[in-house]
Amino acid sequence: MLAEDADLPLLTHDDPAFAGDRFHEVLDELASRTWLVRSDLGYLVLGREPGMALLKDRRLSFPAVELLELQGLSDGVIYERTTKGLMAQSGPAHARLRRLVSAAFTPRQVERLRPRLRGYLECLWHEIASAGRCEAVTALARPLPSMAIAELLGVPGDDALLARWSGSLQAVFDMDMDARRAEIEAAYEEVREYVLDLVAMRRQQPGEDLLSALVHHEQDGDRLSDDEIVTLSASVISGGTDTTESQLAHGLRLFSEHPDQWKKLGDDPALAEQATQEVLRFEPIVPFTARLVREELGVSGIVFPVGIVLFVCAATANRDPMTYADPGRFDITADRAGAQVLSFGFGTHFCAGAHLARAEITEALAFLAPRMRGLEPDGEPAFGTPTGIYTMRSLPVRFTARDPG
Ligand code: HEM
């Protein structure tokens, strides 16, 4: 049966209360009845198995270019960079770029950053410890990721610049192109000049950073062009900042709402890696990953014609009761049997920065939990909307500072 003829529940996103607990209540209730719902944006795939199968299926692709065309853009620097970016590629072109990037962006690159991350956390903590309260997005979650990306690219100290560019580059997803176009274009131009300068320097004098690795890595006679390195750097700057900020902010919010879990982590910071996994599972900050149907396909008796946009839902897949016992409980010591969370996507476009994001969140939780004792809300948190990147706008918290010795 064609999807449009199927009798499916309808979900509308324009309810401002569609965030926080209500977001999960609505989705979990729907997921208990059906794997597919119609929405004002397309179709939402709530089931874990069909979702994973679709993310692996090469008959679908990420609609990066179509998203721009929808906003009336079919040329210019934004269009050009987006069409060349990793997310817009598929098939052999994507596989080639991913191979070259993965060989440069290794777990070793991430391990190199851990001591630096701890140093940054010391500085951020120093600013808030004596007050015993802070707005945790501005004080902690926002600064750390751009510091990490600056270190990754070998430009420590340029974090404020990268944060500004990230904000502008991310605006391509805001569906507000008329208002933001000039700002986004300027950011692309600035990033291009900045990265080309760095590439020229690293070619002369390589360091340990990601840019040096991208410039010097060669595989079977193939290497990334300067232009490809520019595009990739723009993806790292834009894809590696708001995402990790939001995930860390939601994580701190969850712990402020679950004091027993925060105490457990504070008493045993070695649980931080497991705690990060539970944060990622419980509140994936890309709750829906878009895919465009490029060739007609059938799933469980439903036929999706070419051109349909499907949103695979990590928020319900990560709470699938067949995969996780008591999935609605936030529990950092629960045995989740190593089941893969869909928070970084799945399949060919699996997040290229997942190791780095995990390291940042793990280091932050391991550092903060033993020091920031008795973390609790200090007013109402403000949630962003859970389409695109599910941000936290503000998170006022209070705590008792302790020196763990
Ligand atoms: C908690 C933080 C993060 C989350 C939740 C996240 C999530 C995601 C998701 C859901 C995708 C798309 C998967 C798909 O559509 O199948 C993705 C792709 C990507 N992410 Fe992340 N991300 C995070 C951090 C980062 C960081 C730190 C970087 C870079 C340093 C990064 C770089 C990328 C890139 C380059 C892609 C495109 C991969 C491709 O198309 O092959 N992300 N991420």
For residues 115 and 108, what is the distance between their CA atoms, to the nearest angstrom?
A: 13
Task: Give the burial string for 100-111 (b: 16+ CB within 10 Å, else e).
Answer: bbeebbeeebbe
Quick check: 175 pLDDT over 80?
no
Q: Which atom of ligand 1 is nearest to the CA of 105?
A: 30
Average pLDDT over residues 338-365: 96
Integer distance in angstroms from the first to the last C-alpha of the chain? 64
**For residue 372, what pLDDT is reported?**
98
Kindly report the average pLDDT of the chain as a whole number: 94
Alpha helices by DSSP H, 61-174: 64-70, 77-84, 91-104, 107-128, 136, 143-152, 159-170
Q: How far is the CA of 239 from the centre of ligand 1 (A)?
A: 6
Res. 121: pLDDT tops 90: yes
Atom of ligand 1 nearest to the CA of 291: 15
Q: What tens digit of pLDDT does each residue of 218-263 get?
A: 888 889 999 999 999 999 999 999 999 999 999 999 999 999 999 9
Mutate to test the pocket of ligand 1, among 58, 243, 343 (most ligand atoms within 8 A of CB): 243
Residue 222, amino acid: D
pLDDT at 154: 95
Report how far apart, in Å, the C-alpha atoms of 2 and of each of 5, 143, 193, 306, 356 are.
5, 47, 49, 11, 41
* Percentage of residues in the chain having pLDDT higher than 90: 84
Output the pLDDT for position 72.
86
Mean per-residue pLDDT, 10-22: 82
Question: Which range among 13-17, 213-217, 243-247, 276-280 shows the weakest confidence by mean pLDDT?
Answer: 13-17
Residue 130 Cα to ligand 1 middle (Å): 35
Copy the structure tokens of residue 261: 């879990």
What is the number of other CB atoms lying within 10 angstroms of the CB of residue 337? 8
Confidence of residue 107 (pLDDT cuts 50, 70, 90): very high
Say whether domain 3-400 belongs to CATH 1.20.120.430.
no
Q: What is the DSSP string of 223-269?
A: ---HHHHHHHHHHHHHHTTHHHHHHHHHHHHHHHH-HHHHHHHHH-G
Please give the DSSP secondary-structure letter assigned to residue 5. G
On the question of pLDDT at 34 being above 80, the answer is: yes
Q: Whose C-alpha lies nearest to ligand 1, atom 23? A: 243
Nearest Cα to 304, choosing from 322, 312, 320, 90?
312
Q: Is the pLDDT of residue 163 over 90?
A: yes
Compute, in angstroms, the gap from residue 203 CA to the centroid of ligand 1.
27
Kindly report the protein residue whose alpha carbon is nearest to atom 18 of ligand 1: 351
Tell me if 317 CB under 6 Å of ligand 1: no
* Confidence (pTM): 0.96
